[in-house]
Amino acid sequence: MTGRQGRVIHGKVDWWTVAIYVALVALGWLNLYAAVYDTTREVFDVGSRYGMQMVWIGVCFVVALVVMLVDDKFYHILAYPVWGVCLALMLATLVLSPEIKGARAWLLVGPVAIQPAEFMKFAVSLALARAMSVYGFTLGRMGDLAKVAMLVGIPVAVMFLQHDVGSAVVYASFLFMLYREGLNRWVYIVMGIVLGLFFGSFWVTDTGLLMMIIAGVAAGAGIGYGNWKAPVMYGAGVALVSVGGWLSLRYLAGMEVRFYYVLLGVAFLSIPVVAAVAWAKRLRGFWVYIVLFVASVAFVSVADVVFDHLDLHQQKRILDTLGIESDARGWGYNVNQSKIAIGSGGLVGKGFLEGTQTKFNFVPEQSTDFIFCTVGEEWGFVGSAVVLALFCALILRLVRMGERAEEPFRRIYCYCVAGIFLIHVLINIGMTVGLVPVIGIPLPFFSYGGSSLLAFTLLLVVAVRLDLGSGELAT
C-alpha cells in the first residue's frame, strides 16, 4: 500500500465506530474478568477464561487489520463461497460435534471449540447483500423472494437440527433489513398476529382470545382498506354463532370439545355466504380479512400442538417468562438470580470485583449468556446505561453507514449487521431481566467465546471497510 493510500484510509475510516468497538471490547473483557475472577491465576493466564479471551481479542485485532487492507470487491465476489463453506461446517457438526448442553453446534479443533453458526450470520449477510444488489432484483417478485428465503431458511433449518434454537431466532434480525428494502407490510402484520396469538393463547380464555382475534383482524382490515363495518359485522356474527354452538355442544349434548374447533368450523362454513355478499356489494379487500381471520383461528387451534413439540426446558422458560408458572428454584432459577444481581447494584453499583452474586457463582452462565448481570451488579444503573448507550450508538452508526452507501450491496450489508446487533442486545439483556424467555445467545463483545467475538468483529469491521469504499483505495 502506498503512502497516499494510507492517508486516504486514515481520512475516511469511521473512527467513531472504531472507538465504540474498542470501548465495548475493553468493557467486555473487564466484566468477563470480574465474572470469573480467580486470585490463583494471573491476568494473562490462558488457562482462565479472561486470559483466553485476551488471546481472542488479539486475534480479532489482527483480523480487523487484514479486513481493512483487502479490497472490498472481494467481499462481493466471495459472498456465495463463504455462505457455502459455513453451511458445510454447520452440516459437519451434525456428524462430528459432541452434544454440549443439548445441542450439536460446535466443532472441536484441538483445545478450541468453534461454533460455525456464529460465522454463518456473517456469511448470510454477505450472501443477501450480493443477491439483493443484482440489477432488477425486487422483493415483490416471487423468484427473488424465494432466493432470499433460501439463503436464510437453509441455515435456520440446520440450526433446528442442531437443537440450537437460540441461534435460529437471531435470523429474525434480517426482517429489519428487508423492511428497509421494501418487503410488503402484510408480512410483518401476519407475523405480529402469529406471535400475539401464540403467546395470547397461554394468557387469556377461549372467549377472550376470540375477541382479540376479531378486534385485531377487523382493525387491520379497517386500517388497510377503510371499510370497517363489514369485517366487524362478520366477526360479530361468527362470534355469536360460535359461542352458541360451543355452549350447546358442551352443556346440552354433553360433548367435550375445544372452543376453537367449533369456531374454525363456523368460520369455514360462513365463507360461501360471505363470498356472495362480498361479491354483490363489492367490498374491497374483504377477502384479506376472511383469510387472516380463518388462518388466525386455525393457528390458535394448533398452538398447543406446537408448544407440546418444544423441549421441556423451552416450555418451562416460556411459561415462566409469561408469569403463568413460577419456579425460582427450578426453571426460573437463572433469571431469578440474574434479577437479584442486577437489582443489588443500585444506582452506581458495588464496584469493580465487589459483586457478591457473581463472585460466589449464584448466577449460572455468568460469563456467557448472563454476563450483563456483572455489569448491573458492579456498575449499577449508570454503568448499565453506558453500555446500552454504546450499543445504541453502534447500531445507529451502522444504519448511518447504510444510508450513505452509494451501492445497494453496502447498504444491505450494513442493515443486516445493524439488525443482528439489535436483536442480540434486545434478547440477551431482555432475558437477564426476565422480559424474554432464556434462549441462550451471547451479548456482543461481552460474553465469553472466541467464535462469537471473532464473528461480531468480522461483521462490524467488514461494514467499516465497505463504508470506506473501493474507489478510495484505488487512487
| Amino acid identity at 314 | Q
Q: How far is CA 107 from CA 103, 210, 439, in A?
A: 12, 47, 21
Give CA–CA dist 108/305, Å, rounded. Answer: 36
CA-based radius of gyration for the chain: 26
The larger pLDDT score, comparing residue 142 to residue 221, is at: 142
Comparison of pLDDT for 233 and 315, the residue scoring more: 315
What residues contact residue 382 under an 8 Å CB cut-off, 6+ apart?
A: 347, 348, 349
Find the farthest-apart pair of alpha carbons in the chain and give their distance in angstroms, rounded.
90
**Mean pLDDT, range 343-372, rounded to an integer:** 84
Cell of 468: 470506506
Instruction: Indicate the DSSP class of residue 323.
Output: T
Instruction: Judge contact between 358 and 341, C-beta under 8 A.
Output: yes
Residue type at 316? K
CB contact set of 419 (below 8 Å; sequence gap of 6+): 173, 174, 175, 176, 177
Are 397 and 20 in contact by the 8 Å Cβ rule? The answer is yes
Average pLDDT over residues 38-49: 78
pLDDT at residue 258, rounded to an integer: 65
Overall average pLDDT of the 238-248 stretch? 67
- Look up the pTM and report it: 0.82
> 418-439: b or e for each residue (b if 16 or more CB lie within 10 Å)?
bbbbbbbbebbbbbbbbebbbb
**Torsion from C-alpha of 50, 52, 57, 62, nearest 10 degrees:** 160
Q: How many CB atoms lie within 10 A of CB 69?
A: 12
User: Does residue 18 have a pLDDT over 90?
Assistant: yes
Select from 139, 180, 184 the least CA-distant residue to 417: 180
Please check the confidence at residue 106 and state whether its pLDDT lies above 50: yes
β-bridge partners, 103: 100
In this structure, are residues 220 and 276 in contact, taking their beta carbons and an 8 Å threshold? Answer: no
